[in-house]
Structure 1
Amino acid sequence: MDNIAGSKSSLQWAVQLSVIALVLLWLFPTVGLLVSSFRTADQIATSGWWKAMFPSEQNLVIRAADPDDEGVQVQQGDLWVIEGNLFALDGRSQGEISVWGTSSREIDAYAAGETAELKDGQQLTVEANGDYRLTAPEQMTGRGQRVFLTAVAPPEFTLDNYHSMLLDPNNSEGMAKAFFNTLTVTIPATVIPILIAAFAAYALAWMDFPGRAILIAIVVGLLVVPLQLALIPLLKFHNNIGIGKGYLGVWLAHTGFGLPLAIYLLRNYMAGLPRDIIENAKVDGASDFQIFTRIILPLSFPALASFAIFQFLWTWNDLLVAKVFLIDASGETTVMTNKIVELLGTRGGNWEILATAAFVSIAMPLLVFFAMQRYLVRGLLAGSVK
Structure 2
Amino acid sequence: MEATPATKSPLTLVTHLTVLLLVALWTLPTAGLFISSLRDKDQLAVSGWWTALSSSSQSLQGRTGAAPDQKEENGVYVITGNLLGDTAGRVSAFGTTSREPEAYEAGAAADLGDGATLTVGEDGAYRLESPVPFESKRGQRVFVTAEQPPRFTLDNYREVLRSEGIGRSFVNSLTVAVPATIIPILIAAFAAYALAWMEFPGRALLIAAVVGLLVVPLQMSLIPLLRLYNGVAEVFGVPAKTYLGIWLAHTGFGMPLAIYLLRNYMAGLPREVLESARVDGASDFEIFTKIILPLSFPALASFAIFQFLWVWNDLLVAIVFLGAQDESLVLTGRLVNLLGSRGGNWEILTASAFITIVVPLLVFFTLQRYLVRGLLAGSVKGG
The two structures share one fold, judged by TM-score above 0.5: yes
> Residue 358 and residue 65 in structure 1: after superposition, are their counterparts in 2 closer, same or farther (change >3 A)?
farther
Q: Following TM superposition, by how much is the alpha carbon of 1:301 offset from its aligned partner in structure 2, in angstroms? A: 0.8
How far 1:183 sits from its partner (Å)? 1.3
SS at match of 1:352: helix
Please report how far the alpha carbon of residue 120 of structure 1 lies from its aligned counterpart in structure 2 after TM superposition.
7.2
Local SS of the residue matching 2:145: strand
Q: Measure, in 1, the Cα distance between the counterparts of 2:38 and 2:65.
A: 28
Residues 93, 156 of structure 1: 8 Å contact kept: no
Letter in 2 for 1:161: N
State the AA in 2 paired with 1:256: G
Q: Is the 8 A contact 1:269 1:383 kept in 2?
A: yes
Deviations 1:43-88 (A, max 9, x none): 11221111111122222223334555xxx4322244432222211x
Matched, 1:217 2:208: yes
Distance 1:48 1:325, change over 3 A: same
Distance 1:197 1:110, change over 3 A: same
Between the aligned residues of both structures, percent identity stands at 62
**Which residue does the alignment assign to 2:236?**
none
Given that residues 89 and 146 in structure 2 are in contact (C-alpha distance below 8 angstroms), is that contact kept between their aligned partners in structure 1?
Answer: no
Unaligned runs of 5+ in 1: 1-5
Confirm or deny that 1:12 pairs with 2:3.
no
- The 1:108/1:268 distance shift into structure 2, 3 A limit, reads same
User: Can you list the C-alpha shifts for 1:139-195, whole angstroms capped at 9, x where unaligned?
Assistant: 3443343322233222222222233334xx434xx2322222111111100100101
- How far apart, CA to CA, are the structure 2 residues paired with 1:222 and 1:73? 80
Alpha carbons of structure 1 residues 240 and 52: separation in structure 2 relative to 1, 3 Å: same
Could you tell me which of 80, 94, 101 is aligned with 2:89?
94
Distance 1:100 1:201, change over 3 A: same
> Which residues of 2 match residues 297-336 of structure 1 at below 5 A?
297-329=293-325, 331-336=326-331
Partner letter of residue 82 of structure 2?
N
* Counterparts of 1:289 and 1:130, CA distance in 2: 77
Higher mean C-alpha deviation, range 246-255 or range 144-153: 144-153
**2-side partners of 1:218 and 1:111: how far apart?**
77
Counterpart among 357, 371, 376 of residue 381 in structure 1: 376
Structure 2 CA distance for partners of 1:381 and 1:119, relative to 1, 3 Å? farther
Q: Supply the distance in 2 between the matched residues of 1:298 and 1:347 (Cα, whole angstroms).
A: 48
For 1:232, the aligned partner's letter is I
Q: Aligned ranges for residues 31-110 of structure 1 at < 5 Å? A: 31-65=31-65, 67-68=67-68, 72-87=69-84, 89=85, 91-97=86-92, 99-110=93-104
The match for 2:118 among 124, 147, 151 is 124
Give the Cα separation in 2 of the matches to 1:227 and 1:218: 16
Q: CA RMSD in A?
A: 2.4
1:3 paired residue number: none
Residues 305 and 105 (structure 1), Cα distance of their counterparts in 2 relative to 1, 3 Å cut: same
Q: CA deviation at 1:121?
A: 6.2
Determine the structure 1 residue equivalent to 2:156: 161
Counterpart in the other structure of 2:183? 192
CA distance in 2, matches of 1:64, 1:239: 65
Aligned residue type for 1:54: S
1:286 Cα deviation (Å)?
A: 2.5
TM-score (norm 1): 0.87
Instruction: Quote the offset at 1:312 in angstroms.
Output: 1.4
* Residue 255 (structure 1) aligned to one of 251, 266, 272: 251
Query: Are 1:287 and 2:275 matched, yes or no?
Result: no
Letter paired with 1:13: L
CA offsets per residue over residues 93-131 of structure 1, 9 Å max, x none? Answer: 11232x333333332333333444447765333233322
Aligned length: 370
